[in-house]
A = this chain, B = another copy of it.
Amino acid sequence: MGATMKDIAKRTGLGLATISSYLNGGNVREKNRIKIEEAIEELHFEVNEVARGLKTNRTKTIGIIIPELNNIFFAEIITEAEDILRNHGYATMICDCRSDEKREAEAEEFLFHRRVDGLILMPAGNGADGLSRFLRAGKPVVMIDRKMDQVDCDCVLVDNEGAAAEAVERLYQAGHRKIGMIAGPSDVYTAKERLKGYRSALKKRGLEPEESLVARGDYTIAGGARAMHQLKEQNAEMTAVFISNYEMTVGAMMEINDSGISVPEELSVIGFDNTDFAKASVPRLSIVTQPTGEIAKCAAELLLRKLEGETEVRPVEGGTAEESGEKQVKRREAGKSETVKLKTGFVEGRSVKQL
């Protein structure tokens, strides 16, 4: 086993409190400081954060629960969040629950037992029971990409409705009138919002949303391909399609390519997420993008603010200062839960034809 503070104390002839004080940046006489540092060096001492956590009741660890790590949208958020949190001394324990409610509940319990100080989660299910233990224990929870009315916690959302509406409006502007949509699962928050945006954009232009123009996918590649197939079968006159998440965009493109449809000549396409794929597609895809970095930043900051007791959360070094003009903060109850809704972006490609 490694050396402990006790060993350092013995070695230097100093008391435990002095060592502790030194380790925590307290004042120590110069002479002693040197002695301590020598002892630490010789004994290879390294603090035991576990013991510290037990004593202070703060593990400096954040739990993150996501539906799929193996998904660029989530992975990007995690990368950024982990970076910010670690810069503030917090470790992150990530649990991938494979979009499964049961696994999600297990992850909540698992992380609670490990006494994480806070939680960032993107719920797969709708049940929020598992969160109660965190809330009861006064541990902050930030929800991402989903909104649950029964739960009182901070939320970081994206303007999904607006994003979908914008995509449709762009297609309308380009002269399209028969605009299809590949929608997501009817029980997923973001999917509902995006569908709402599609419909409202059409209505705004006096077009009646036709049921046949909406195909349900399940946010997977295979589902996207199926939905695309169905859409073409049912709508010979359709000239454009809006696909409402990344995986389905990939699937739809596969189907489009396989069936020899040429984009944008025969069909205009607006996809979702992942600039890389969009850029490498032929032709370059026009897509709605989500501000993954901003999402992570907001979530981490919301959490840190509660954790550090509302004291200033220093901006992470190197973080670009004021790009947050696009942030709309909506306070719900003073001092209580906050909901932040972020704007989406749009990357222009060559997959939309001007009619």
A residues lining the B interface (CB < 8 Å): 1-2, 44, 46-51, 53-54, 57, 59, 61, 68-72, 75-76, 78-79, 82-83, 86, 91-96, 98, 107, 109-115, 133, 136-137, 221, 250-251, 253-254, 257, 276-277, 279-284
A55 → chain B closest CB, angstroms: 9
Given B49, B96, B283, which contacts A83 in the complex, CB threshold below 8 Å? Answer: B96
Contact between A69 and B91, CB atoms less than 8 A apart: no
A96: contacting residue among B49, B79, B98, B221, CB under 8 A: B79
Query: Is the CB–CB distance between B115 and A48 below 8 Å?
Result: yes
User: Which of B98, B114, B276 is A49 in contact with, Cβ under 8 Å?
Assistant: B114
Determine the chain B residues whose CB is within 8 A of the CB of A48 once the complex forms: 54, 113, 115
Question: Which of A68, A114, A137, A250 has the most chain B CB atoms closer than 10 A to its own CB?
Answer: A114
Residues on B with C-beta less than 8 A from A281 are 280-282
The 3 closest A-B pairs by CB, nearest first: A70-B79, A69-B79, A250-B280
Q: Pick the residue among B59, B110, B253 that contacts A86 (CB under 8 A).
A: B110
| Closest chain B residue to A249, Cβ basis | B280
A92 to B68, alpha carbons, bound, how many Å? 15
| A86 touching B95, Cβ below 8 Å | yes
A46 to B114, CA, bound (A): 10
CB-CB under 8 A from A1, the residues of chain B are 57, 137
